[in-house]
Amino acid sequence: TQVEKGGYKHFMAKEIAEQPVVLADASRHYLSEDGLNLPEDLDFSKISRLTLVACGTAFYACSVAKYWFEQLARIPVEIDVASEFRYREPPLPEDSYAIFVSQSGETADTLAALRYCHEKVAKTVAVVNVPTSSIARECDVALPILAGVEVGVASTKAFTCQLLVLATLALKAARDRGHMSEAELARHMDALQSLPALMNHALALDDTLNEVSNELSEARDVLFLGRGAMYPLALEGALKLKEISYIHAEGYASGELKHGPIALIDSHTPVIVFAPHDALFDKTVSNMQEVMARGGKVLLVSDKKGLDVASDGVWQTVQMPEVPDLFAPLLYAIPAQLIAYHTAVAKGTDVDQPRNLAKSVTVE
Ligand code: G6P
């Protein structure tokens, strides 16, 4: 079936806007009345380690999920990009699972990494958008992310749906390993189910983000900062921006700022800070203040509580809805995507088909 833009100027805009709907679909599938809907033979109770492998945006989904598996399920997690993993010959415990995340299910490096893991681990698990893909077929367990066809080369709705599936896996792992009561599980499931509505609020920030992006489009370099699970989101924000606007962008863990990137700070280099008002907020704010003390211009993306205490001296603010801490990366993906999108539109680049990039990289 032909997929159409449905009134949007670009597939990417349509796919960003679809997220509340597809995420709600995926949530209905994986989170049912009687609990998590995941294969029962996916049992994390006796697993000593998880290995998560992917490329590009899917790798950043793995990077966020590492925080969840470690915090919730207390399970050691290794993550790597597939092109490195496949040639490292990493030793893999027999009592481990390996998870491969891929929108297309055809990325050559990810497929090769999966083939390396066969026979070495207890189970291989695919988190994929295309259920008939090679990666889905070759894994022991395939979990569809249910995002629907994604046309824009820069991945958007697949990222948030990958996160949803990985979050439900982390909840199952936590329960299997005795680290989560039924009451806590129910609370986390509610939190996940609240996301589509929150995403609608975040999407309503489109005009604000469009205005900010007009200014960002003048920049030569942009830095993205985040801490905790917001760090991989900073990496994803930078990736989105460079992919489609061709502006040089880097994501950094905010605590690493002083170990290098602070040397780049001047009044021409916008610094985008993703900082919901969570347990790490004060730490991130102090890094942000180091930027401002050196004349840097900061775009702070936070919630009301955060902006009430930390907006002084900030160049621009974006007020996000409050969101349960753990799952904030799914919500903050929206401004990350919209900033990249509007900046690219302001620059007049080919948003859906950026130069030199392919939707699916089936050769090494
Ligand atoms: C390409 C695409 C990215 C995608 C990556 C991994 O680089 O442009 O958007 O994240 O491949 O693709 P996959 O299909 O494995 O998720």
Beta-carbon count within 10 A of 182 CB: 9
- Which two three-digit tokens encode residue 227? 């801490």
- DSSP bridge partners of 143: 127
Scan for tokens 């775009």, then name that residue: 299
Sign of CA dihedral 211, 217, 218, 220: positive
Q: Which of 275, 227, 269, 267 is nearest to 250 (CA)?
A: 269
Q: What is the mean pLDDT of residues 213-234?
A: 97
Chain centre distance of CA 229: 9
Contact between 53 and 154 under an 8 Å Cβ cutoff? The reply is no
Asked if residue 29 has pLDDT above 60, the reply is: yes
Q: What is the mean pLDDT of residues 57-79?
A: 98
Phi then psi dihedrals of residue 88, to 5 deg: -80, -15
Chain centre distance of CA 135: 20
Going from the Cα of 288 to the center of ligand 1, the distance in angstroms, rounded, reads 31
Beta-carbon count within 10 A of 115 CB: 14
Instruction: Report pLDDT digits (tens) over 70-128.
Output: 999 999 999 999 999 999 999 999 999 999 999 999 999 999 999 999 999 999 999 99
Instruction: Render the burial of 308-331: b for 16+ CB within 10 Å, e for the rest.
Output: eebeeebebbbbbbbbbebbbbbb
Sign of CA dihedral 337, 56, 232, 225: negative
Model pTM score: 0.97
Q: Of how many residues is the chain composed?
A: 364
Compute the mean pLDDT over every residue in the chain, rounded to the nearest whole number.
96
160 lines ligand 1 (CB under 6 A): no
Q: Which residue out of 361, 362, 363, 364 has the highest number of ligand 1 atoms within 8 Å of its CB and is therefore the one to mutate? A: 361
56 lines ligand 1 (CB under 6 A): yes
Q: How confident is the model at residue 363 (pLDDT cuts 50, 70, 90)?
A: confident
Give the whole-angstrom CA distance, residue 69 versus residue 67. Answer: 6
Tell me, what's the pLDDT at 261? 87
Q: Which of 131, 98, 133 is nearest to 114 (CA)?
A: 98
User: How much of the chain, in percent, has pLDDT values that exceed 90?
Assistant: 92
Contact between 122 and 94 under an 8 Å Cβ cutoff? The reply is yes
Tell me, what's the pLDDT at 191? 97
Q: What is the mean pLDDT of residues 177-204?
A: 97
Going from the Cα of 102 to the center of ligand 1, the distance in angstroms, rounded, reads 7
Tell me, what's the pLDDT at 214? 96
362 lines ligand 1 (CB under 6 A): no
- DSSP bridge partners of 253: 226
- DSSP bridge partners of 79: 52
Asked if residue 156 has pLDDT above 70, the reply is: yes
Instruction: Report pLDDT digits (tens) over 285-316.
Output: 999 999 999 999 999 999 999 999 999 999 99
Tell me, what's the pLDDT at 58? 98
Q: What is the mean pLDDT of residues 9-21?
A: 97
Q: Among residues 5, 120, 283, 359, which one is catalytic?
A: 359
Helix axis angle for 328-347 and 230-245, nearest 10°, is 20
Answer yes or no: 347 catalytic: no
Ranking 116-125, 240-249, 352-361 by mean pLDDT, the lowest is 352-361
Q: How confident is the model at residue 55 (pLDDT cuts 50, 70, 90)?
A: very high
Closest ligand 1 atom to Cα of 154: 9
Any idea of the CA torsion for 351, 352, 353, 359, to the nearest 10 degrees? 130
Q: Assign 311 to helix, strand or coil.
A: coil
Give the whole-angstrom CA distance, residue 216 versus residue 219. Answer: 5
Q: Is the ipTM of this complex over 0.95?
A: yes
Tell me, what's the pLDDT at 1? 53
